[in-house]
Homo-oligomer: A and B are copies of this chain.
Amino acid sequence: MVERRVADCVFCDIVAGAPAALVFEDAEVVAFLDVRPVFPGHVLVAPRAHVETLTDLPSDAVGPYFTVVQRIAGAVERAMKAGGTFVAINNRVSQSVAHLHCHVVPRTKGDGLRGFFWPRRPYGSPDEMATVAAAIAREAGWTPAHG
């Protein structure tokens, strides 16, 4: 494990031993309670090494990191007797601490939250949708087999 620490990063401080309500740790990852939870049992899962966003996570760290996220999702659901979980990462925009962290929030039907209660609307036209899909496919390095 390469331990990259950044000054003035509160999550690097937790990795280094600052007080936190830890719920899990291994060689690569720490998980601890958010101090201002959406609901009690809201956990943040962070890699020990300082990376800012999901795309900055080294490829060999992706599996180990999300294996812990998966484990925490199960643990939160069981421990909080929840009906489900919300698992989310804000990359840069709405990201309060610039050290990758995945929120795991217990959910219960009728808890008053919706996964997305943002306005959603269809694309203006099939052409607009196809253009957007093609732009993302290109950046993903993928070529459709047909046409």
In the complex, chain B residues whose CB is within 8 Å of the CB of A88:
86-89, 115
Q: List B contacts of A82 (CB < 8 A).
A: 93
CB pair A92 B71 closer than 8 Å: no
Q: SS class of chain A's interface: helix, strand, loop or mixed?
A: mixed
Does A73 touch B at the CB level, under 8 Å?
Answer: yes
* Binary CB contact string for chain A from 49 to 60 against chain B (1 if under 8 A, 0 otherwise): 000011101010
Contact A22 B113 (CB under 8 A): no
- How many identical chains are in the complex? 2
Q: What are 30 sample pairs from A and B whose C-beta atoms fall under 8 A apart?
A: A22-B133, A23-B136, A23-B140, A31-B140, A33-B123, A33-B136, A34-B120, A35-B129, A37-B120, A41-B132, A54-B87, A55-B74, A63-B66, A65-B66, A71-B140, A75-B136, A75-B141, A78-B139, A83-B92, A83-B93, A84-B91, A84-B93, A84-B94, A86-B93, A87-B89, A88-B89, A90-B115, A93-B109, A94-B115, A94-B116
Known: A35-B123, A84-B92, A86-B94. 5 other contacts (CB 8 A): A36-B121, A37-B122, A79-B139, A88-B115, A113-B118
